[in-house]
A and B are shown apart, each in its own frame.
Chain A
Amino acid sequence: MVDSIDSNDGIFRTQNLNLYYGENRAVKDVSISFKKKEVTAIIGPSGCGKSTLLRTLNRMNDFIDIFSTKGEIFFQGEDIYRSSQDVADLRKRVGMVFQRPNPFLKSIYKNIVWGPQIHGTKKDLDELVESSLRKAGLWDEVKDRLNDLATNLSGGQQQRLCIARTIAMKPEVILMDEPCSALDPRSTARIEDLIGELRKDYTIVIVTHNMQQAARISDKTAFFYEGELVEFGDTKSLFTKPKEKRTEDYITGRFG
């Protein structure tokens, strides 16, 4: 079960967290901790609550009326569901990349600067655009058409733009929900490389259905099954010597 983690060291930590949609308990009694500057992969069969957990970390579930939580989630030691939490500030510090690329219907440039702008950044926007696009590995492809509509980019480029948009906020954590599932293998490879670069500076939590991907890019892996955290540990050992039968069955493709 959950071992080998020092629960105080996590940038994110949950304690007996239960997540509900109405009566339906989608995440059950999960205690987990995500460490600073590590990539944590969340894997598990469809419907096991991966996205639900991820969207709770930056409170994007607030928009679902029937959603409710029980238990605690700490970000940098503070309960993010306490009443005094500034949700906009939380989301500024915990960025998110979605399954489908969702650029704004605006220019590439505007896509990147809009977030920082609404939080008061006025200076050096050009540099911010360049550095964010460079980090996202998109600069060379778009540097001559920054004023073009972002929605005209290819799917893979759009997703990298969305990552650049998130990076531009200088977040502490980046959450990614199956960021490659709508992309072709080549774009996927590029994004994986990108995650390899980003891990130096950011804490990343990524949901993926692709076991090889999880094995390639993550330091830690968490395996969920029907809302429960079945196994959590170093990616290497989880994939080579799983402790739980269900984990082994899943990673060897016997179900899911």
Chain B
Amino acid sequence: MSLRRRRLTEKCFKIATALITWSSIAILGVLVFQILKEGMQWVDWQFITSLPSRKAEKAGIYTAIWGSFYLMITTMLFALPTGIGAAIFLEEYGGKSRLSRFIDVNVANLAGVPSIVYGLLGLAVFVNLFGFGRSVISGGLTLGLLVLPVIIITTRGAIRSVPKSIPQAAYALGAKKWQVIFFHTLPYALPGILTGVILSVSRAIGETAPLIIVGAAAYVAFVPESLLDEFTALPIQIFNWTSRPQEVFHSLSAGGIIILLSVMLTMNSVAIFFRHKTQRSRNG
């Protein structure tokens, strides 16, 4: 290929990728703009602190915010240790055994299972078998299962990206395997693991279908006080409002979406903060 042809191809490719990037950002922008335009009128202190109501002017999202918050805490308390543990096992101890390859394939597949299937699983196992009922813990554990593959896969990737020279240096000092993993591999992999957390929270907080199946209530007049309490969640509340016939509730749901996005960003910003901090210390 001549130099000019090559330059031209290069340029076309660059333009094409830029076009794709900008058009997706534009679509996102339109979406956010629409939601803000419709929902901003509702978002105020009263909206955040009021209980759900049949009258749109009085309706608020208080219980749903706290419901979602507690759900995410439960989800992460379950999924993080389990997922990181599984990733360490698969990466560091699993070797090439048949079992680990079997788990490997299945984890990848599980990441693609429709969320409603997790809902059914949660209903059968947590609600009925374990007898947790239609509670925060049932919902949290179900969402935890849902994000587990994501956490396992991102953590494994993060562990794999640790340069070999680091564990090597530690082993050469006579370190045991667990010491190498605990003191060097995991801290080094932390930014990658936090990316997994961010992805998981973002996914879990918007999930609606599995929560409906597990039995999130549309109307809950109190903030859950224990793990076994009934709960509602932001996407449930939003879904509930959009399915009402009155127009006014549709724009109310846009307000709910704004809150949902804010809660998600708030929770993720913690992870983003730590990721930024750990990455900075790495680059010096």
Interface residues of A (CB under 8 A from B): 58, 60, 63, 88-92, 95-96, 98, 100, 102-105, 114-115, 118-119, 149, 151-152, 162, 165-166, 169
Contact = CB atoms under 8 A, between A and B. Distances in A.
A243 B190 CA distance: 56
Nearest to A62: B171
Given A105-B188, A105-B282, A149-B281, A115 B173 contact: yes
Interface string B170-209: 1111111001000110011000000000000000000000
Contact of A104 (B176, B184, B284): B184
B166 interface: yes
B173 A102 contact: no
B188 A115 contact: no
B26 interface: no
Contact of B165 (A88, A91, A102, A166): A102
A96 B172 contact: yes
Contact of B175 (A63, A88, A149, A166): A88
A114 B165 CA distance: 16
Contacts of B183: 114, 118
A180 to B, nearest CB: 17
Contacts of B179: 118
B169 interface: yes
Interface of B: 165-166, 168-176, 179, 183-184, 187-188, 281-282, 284
B166 A92 contact: no
Given A100-B165, A104-B184, A105-B187, A88 B176 contact: yes
Contacts of B168: 60, 63, 98, 102
B171 A60 contact: yes
A179 to B, nearest CB: 13
10 contacts: A88-B174, A91-B173, A98-B172, A102-B166, A102-B168, A104-B170, A105-B166, A114-B170, A114-B173, A151-B282
Given A105-B166, A165-B173, 14 more contacts: A60-B168, A60-B171, A60-B172, A88-B175, A88-B176, A91-B171, A92-B173, A95-B172, A98-B168, A105-B281, A114-B170, A114-B183, A118-B175, A166-B173
A152 B283 CA distance: 8
B83 to A, nearest CB: 23
Q: Report whether over half of chain A's contact residues are helix, strand or loop; otherwise say mixed.
A: helix
Nearest to B179: A118
Contacts of A119: 174
B37 to A, nearest CB: 47
Contacts of B173: 91-92, 95, 114-115, 118, 165-166, 169
Contacts of A89: 174
Nearest to A175: B172
A105 B169 CA distance: 11
Contacts of A96: 172
Contacts of A115: 173-175
A185 B166 CA distance: 26
A132 B162 CA distance: 27
B102 to A, nearest CB: 20
Contacts of A88: 174-176
Q: Name the 8 nearest CB pairs between A and B, nearest first.
A: A92-B174, A115-B173, A102-B165, A91-B174, A88-B174, A96-B172, A102-B169, A152-B284
Contacts of A100: 165
A152 B282 CA distance: 9
A151 B170 CA distance: 15
Nearest to B163: A102
B201 to A, nearest CB: 26
Nearest to B165: A102
A205 to B, nearest CB: 14
Contacts of A90: 174
Contacts of B176: 88, 118
A135 B110 CA distance: 55
A86 to B, nearest CB: 9
A227 to B, nearest CB: 23
B178 to A, nearest CB: 10
A187 B60 CA distance: 68
A103 to B, nearest CB: 7
Contacts of B165: 98, 100, 102
A104 B174 contact: no
Contacts of A162: 169
Contacts of A91: 171-174
Contacts of A118: 173-176, 179, 183
B284 A169 contact: no
